[in-house]
Amino acid sequence: MIQGHSPGRGQPDSPKLPHAVFISYSNEDKAVADAVCAALEVENIGCWIAPRDVQGGRPYSCQITQAIRETRVLLLILTGAANRSKHVLQEVERAAHWQNQLLTFRIEVIPPGHDLVYFLGADQRVDGFGPMPPSQHFPANDCQINYSH
């Protein structure tokens, strides 16, 4: 289980979970990213995901970098679109800079692009292709990710 989350998600009047995981994805993969986010949050693992957690009136880029810095895990939804996305690359670079744990969730049978592989190295990977919905491939209860500030 991902360490460092608090109970209460999904219960009426429960406090908002602290963000443990930053979800990085291409806009083309928003439906999958939302499904993975929902699956993690059902397991009481707080996620930061754009555009849901972006606040109006503050620069977007500032909020992204702050969220990456404040979480300890970056979960990359890896697809061909993510491989082509300059924003995804920037998010992964920032996470590597702050020494966040990087977890790759592949939903297509493709390797990370050359720019991404530089940062991802031998970090954890979960494959999410197959007949089940992507959220069911993600092993929220089995994933051993530790983070601490």
SS3 content of the chain, % helix, strand, coil (to 5): 35, 15, 50
pTM for the complete prediction?
0.78
> What are the structure tokens assigned to 19, written together?
């963000």
- For residue 92, tell me if it sits in a domain: yes
- For residue 133, tell me if it sits in a domain: yes
Give, for all 149 residues of the chain, the pLDDT tens digit: 344 443 333 433 445 668 999 999 999 999 999 999 999 999 899 999 999 999 999 999 999 999 999 999 999 999 999 999 999 999 999 999 999 999 999 999 998 999 998 888 765 667 676 655 555 655 544 444 443 43
Q: Who contacts 74 (Cβ-Cβ below 8 Å, separation ≥6)?
A: 21, 22, 24, 68, 91, 92, 95, 100, 101, 102, 103
- For residue 142, tell me if it sits in a domain: no
pLDDT reported for residue 61: 94
- For residue 103, tell me if it sits in a domain: yes
CB 45 within 8 A of CB 5: yes
CA–CA separation, 64 and 8 (whole Å): 25
- For residue 7, tell me if it sits in a domain: no
Q: For the chain, how many residues are written?
A: 149
Residue range(s) defining the domain that contains residue 106:
21-137
pLDDT reported for residue 13: 40
Per the structure, the count of domains in the chain is 1
> What are the structure tokens assigned to 42, written together?
């059902």
- Can you give the CATH number for the domain in which 57 is found? 3.40.50.10140
- For residue 13, tell me if it sits in a domain: no
CA–CA separation, 78 and 76 (whole Å): 6
- For residue 3, tell me if it sits in a domain: no
